Structure 1
Amino acid sequence: MKKFINAVDRVLTESLRGFGAAHSDIVRVQMEPTFVARADAPVKGKVALISGGGSGHEPLHAGFVGRGMLDAACPGQVFTSCTPDQMAAAAQAVDGGAGVLFIVKNYAGDVMNFEMAADMIGGDQATVITNDDVAVEDSTYTTGRRGVAGTVVVEKMVGAAADKGADLAACKALGERVNKATRSMGVALTSCTVPAAGRPTFQLGEDEIEMGVGIHGEPGRKRVKLESADAIANTLMHAIETDLKPKAGAPALLLVNGFGGTPLMELYLMYDAARRYCEGRNIKVARSLVGNYTTSLEMAGCSLTLTALDDELTKLWDHPVRTAALRWGV
């Protein structure tokens, strides 16, 4: 294992310290319990959006704290859920009096701990669970589909609505609507190495790929021989399209998300392949995003996400955002 590390047990603390210092105009980092909050939180009269989960998926979630997205994020240890006390402390720190909405990826530990946090804080709060992964119905860590890169789309659109003054019930309903309109699937070319483990999470042959891999390295649909980029993109997009069933000619958002170890050159190549698939299936790509947004440490691979849009969702996507990892219009 070769990583920039001083000590395995200090990786998260030192990383967060650097993140907070680098983006002190946008966020503040709280330790013990650990969470990242908007620098100007609480924002009075605005629904507070809180997410979190295991580290190793950066910039998810801390990188999306700021105007137009999250009010706070709770980072757990690498690939390990954050704890209820983190979530409760974050909620109390950013609650501006209009209620708290938790956005939770569908992993057993995340769901259980956010439920415990909700019980701890009481008051006006609600939860949206993301489960956009079409690869498998059940897998390691989950009961039902996994929440993956589509979570970014939910956080962006609900964050925009909250920024515009939507109330808690409207934010929850919107989050559930966006989640239902979003599907994702990923593929791994290599494994990743959790620092505490010191060895790859799984093994792939030189000519093998994991089709439908999870963001913690969980098994996907099948292990297959390496194919062309077009063939891989077509397999992913076919699974997404078959599940989502977008209306012919309707607009969509196409997100190509890197897992941490794939060059941007290859991610844009995959975007080209996925977009050509969409054009051939009468899916109108109206909005795009390409880059590393929901990673798996240094895993080589990517995921494709498609969100069916309408005028309202398009405007919410275009709404100004200012976070460490995503910003436009400001």
Structure 2
Amino acid sequence: MKKILNDPAAVVAQSLLGLAAAHPDLLRVTTDPAVVSRADGPRPGKVAVVSGGGSGHEPLHGGFVGPGMLDAACPGAVFTSPTPDQIQAAVSRVDGGAGVLLLVKNYTGDVLNFETAAELLAADGVDVRTVLIDDDVAVRDSLYTAGRRGVGATVLVEKVVGAAAEAGADLATCERVARAAVAGARSMGIALTAPTVPHVGEPSFTLADDEMEVGIGIHGEPGRRRERLTDADGVVAALLEPVLADLPFAAGDEVLLFTNSMGGTPLLELYLAHGIAEQSLVDKGITVTRRLVGPYVTSLEMQGMSLTLLRLDDELTRLWDAPVRTAALRWGA
């Protein structure tokens, strides 16, 4: 294992301190419990949007805290769910009295811990609601989930809901926007290599030089199948075809295309793949009106990529375009 770290057990806390040092105008960070929150929070009268999950997927979620997106994020240990007390602490730092929306990727640990936190918060009188993100078409159930996994659509949901909350939408509206985005988003990923969790010290799985794992999860979970590595056209087809078939997307749709690196795939290859995917959609009569390309939902240093499609309407397009100012995503502000 070759990584830039000191004590593997301290990697998350030390990384959070570096995040805080890099963005003092945007963020407030604590390490016990680990919480990343907006520097200007809480905002009285504003719905607080809170998410979180295991570390190792950076910039998800802490990199998306800031105006126009999340109010707080709860980073767990690497590939490990945040605890209920973490989630409560995050909410306490950003609750402006207008309610709290929890955005939760559909992994068993995340679901259970956010559910427990929501019950405790409700008992304390907090108006809290939860939306599960489950966009991965690769598998219906996995080692980590009952139902579909939450993957690339997480960034898109956090963005549109954050924009709605920033504009003053009430809790019911923010929940509706989140559910609409989840319903219209589908994703699938592929791995060329496995990630190495720092405290484990060895890859999560083994792939031969001529193999790829199709339908991989963001924690290195197995996918639909393992097959011989193909060229970029074949990789994009293996990802795009099941995504298109699942909703299904159809000619005349307007979509956001999100081409995501799993951490180890460089932009040179990612843009190549994005161009292939976009042309394939054009050939099918599907119009790409919004795009996002880059390493936004990663799996440590895994080589691989994912494609996410979000079916757009006027409201979702407006919310996507709204100003955002976070460590990892910013425009119009």
* 1:311 matched residue in structure 2: 314
**1:33-48 residue pairs with structure 2 within 5 A?**
33-48=33-48
Amino acid at match of 2:183: K
Shift of residue 21 of structure 1?
0.7
Does the residue aligned with 1:257 lie in a helix, a strand or coil? strand
Does the residue aligned with 2:315 lie in a helix, a strand or coil? helix
Could you list the per-position Cα deviations for residues 249-304 of structure 1 after superposition, in whole angstroms to 9, with x for gaps in the alignment? 22100000001101100000010111111011111000000000000000000000
Percent identity reads 59
* 1:134 matched residue in structure 2: 137
Q: How large is the RMSD of aligned CA atoms in angstroms?
A: 0.7
How far apart, in 2, do the equivalents of 1:260 and 1:62 lie?
A: 16
Amino acid at match of 1:131: D
Q: What count of residue pairs does the alignment treat as equivalent?
A: 330
How far apart, in 2, do the equivalents of 1:24 and 1:284 lie?
A: 39
How far apart, in 1, do the equivalents of 2:103 and 2:206 lie?
A: 32
* 2:244 matched residue in structure 1: 241
Does the residue aligned with 1:109 lie in a helix, a strand or coil? helix
The answer to whether 1:268 aligns with 2:271 is: yes
How far apart, in 2, do the equivalents of 1:61 and 1:31 lie?
A: 15
How far apart, in 1, do the equivalents of 2:209 and 2:249 lie?
A: 36
The answer to whether 1:105 aligns with 2:110 is: no
TM-score, normalization by structure 1: 0.99
Could you list the per-position Cα deviations for residues 130-163 of structure 1 after superposition, in whole angstroms to 9, with x for gaps in the alignment? 0000000000110000000101000000000101
**1:137-176 residue pairs with structure 2 within 5 A?**
137-176=140-179
Could you list the per-position Cα deviations for residues 55-108 of structure 1 after superposition, in whole angstroms to 9, with x for gaps in the alignment? 000000000000000000000000000000000011011000100000000000
Shift of residue 245 of structure 1?
1.4
How far apart, in 2, do the equivalents of 1:238 and 1:84 lie?
A: 38
* 2:325 matched residue in structure 1: 322
How far apart, in 2, do the equivalents of 1:110 and 1:46 lie?
A: 25
Shift of residue 319 of structure 1?
0.2
* 1:294 matched residue in structure 2: 297
Could you list the per-position Cα deviations for residues 169-203 of structure 1 after superposition, in whole angstroms to 9, with x for gaps in the alignment? 11111101100100000000101100011000000
Structure 1 stretches of 4+ moved >3 Å? none
* 1:231 matched residue in structure 2: 234
The answer to whether 1:285 aligns with 2:296 is: no
* 1:58 matched residue in structure 2: 58
Shift of residue 235 of structure 1?
1.7
Does the residue aligned with 1:46 lie in a helix, a strand or coil? coil
* 1:71 matched residue in structure 2: 71
How far apart, in 2, do the equivalents of 1:227 and 1:163 lie?
A: 44
Amino acid at match of 2:60: L
Could you list the per-position Cα deviations for residues 112-142 of structure 1 after superposition, in whole angstroms to 9, with x for gaps in the alignment? 0001111111120100100000000000110
How far apart, in 1, do the equivalents of 2:93 and 2:289 lie?
A: 37
Structure 2 spans left out of the alignment, 5+ residues:
none
How far apart, in 1, do the equivalents of 2:262 and 2:221 lie?
A: 13
Does the residue aligned with 1:139 lie in a helix, a strand or coil? coil
How far apart, in 2, do the equivalents of 1:4 and 1:246 lie?
A: 42
Amino acid at match of 1:162: A
Shift of residue 246 of structure 1?
2.1
Does the residue aligned with 2:198 lie in a helix, a strand or coil? coil
How far apart, in 2, do the equivalents of 1:54 and 1:140 lie?
A: 16
How far apart, in 2, do the equivalents of 1:140 and 1:134 lie?
A: 15
Amino acid at match of 2:208: G
* 1:5 matched residue in structure 2: 5
Shift of residue 239 of structure 1?
0.3
Amino acid at match of 2:94: V
Does the residue aligned with 1:42 lie in a helix, a strand or coil? coil
How far apart, in 2, do the equivalents of 1:31 and 1:58 lie?
A: 16
Shift of residue 232 of structure 1?
1.2
TM-score, normalization by structure 2: 0.98
**Pick from 219, 222, 226: which aligns with 2:225?**
222
Does the residue aligned with 1:286 lie in a helix, a strand or coil? strand
